[in-house]
Amino acid sequence: MCPVAAVASVGGMNDNRTAMITGASRGLGRALAAGLAREGFDLIVDARDGAALDVVAGTVRAAGGTVSAVAGDVTDPAHRAALLAAAQAAGRLDLLVNNAGTLGASPLPALADYPPDELRAAFEVNVIAPVALTQLVLPLLRASGGAVLNITSDAAVEAYAGWGGYGAAKAALEQASNVLAAEEPTLRVWWADPGDLRTDMHQLAFPGEDISDRPEPSSVVPAFVRLVTERLPSGRYRAAHLMPREPVSS
């Protein structure tokens, strides 16, 4: 299939800022799609679950937003080519959000017991795929003076027992982001830790446990909106440190 044929509802050429968000069918990706659409971004969204992705796209459109939904697996080169085709059809790309990820083996095993195939898959999703997608869309991002936002984790910088596979992959993504920022000074490159959230992935890390005390993904969207709209310098950020401050009452 031609990559363009896999694109659903791609709009025509426009002057609006365009953001591509991977893993947008649920969790943080879904929340970011809604938040960036409210900020006036046209969206290109992807996820493996096409039905769930269509629900997200429908919600964005119902709120007056413009969105192209491209279902597929970001580790698949043909799917990444379809995402590029969607951005080319839109005529521009201002922001790439590499949000799609995988926890890896669950329940979380010690590194001594980590299945190599599971470790390889974790790196494929969390490192290789976002780097490969970034490579594809860099010409469009350079043309717009755009930005790359890679979603990371405190597991990339802290030693948590059981988190060796996921943490090592996110650490690799962080260093790749750091190097990209040095190599692409006209862009903004951010790698940002959203903190513990009430998501399906976080539940997989703690099977059978109640994680209802974790905040909803939508709670950190203002932090990411600030990062994007204020175009903060390239670097590593934590959502908790980016949350807009409440005005001080007199």
Exactly one of 114, 160, 166, 237 is catalytic; name it: 166
Q: pLDDT confidence of 209, banded at 50, 70, 90?
A: low
pLDDT at 184: 98
pTM for the whole structure: 0.88
The mean pLDDT of the chain is: 88
Asked if 114 is an active-site residue, the reply is: no
Q: pLDDT confidence of 200, banded at 50, 70, 90?
A: low
**Cβ neighbours of residue 112 closer than 8 Å, sequence gap 6 or more:** none
State pLDDT tens for residues 10-48.
334 457 899 999 999 999 999 999 999 999 999 999 999
b/e string for 23-41 if b means 16 or more Cβ within 10 A?
bbbbbbbbbbbbbbbeeeb
State pLDDT tens for residues 54-104.
999 999 999 999 999 999 999 999 999 999 999 999 999 999 999 999 988
3-state SS string over 161-205? Answer: CCCHHHHHHHHHHHHHHHHHHHHCCCCEEEEEECCCCCCHHHHHH
Q: Which of 62-76, 147-161, 202-216 has the lowest average pLDDT?
A: 202-216
Provide the β-strand partners of residue 192: 151, 237
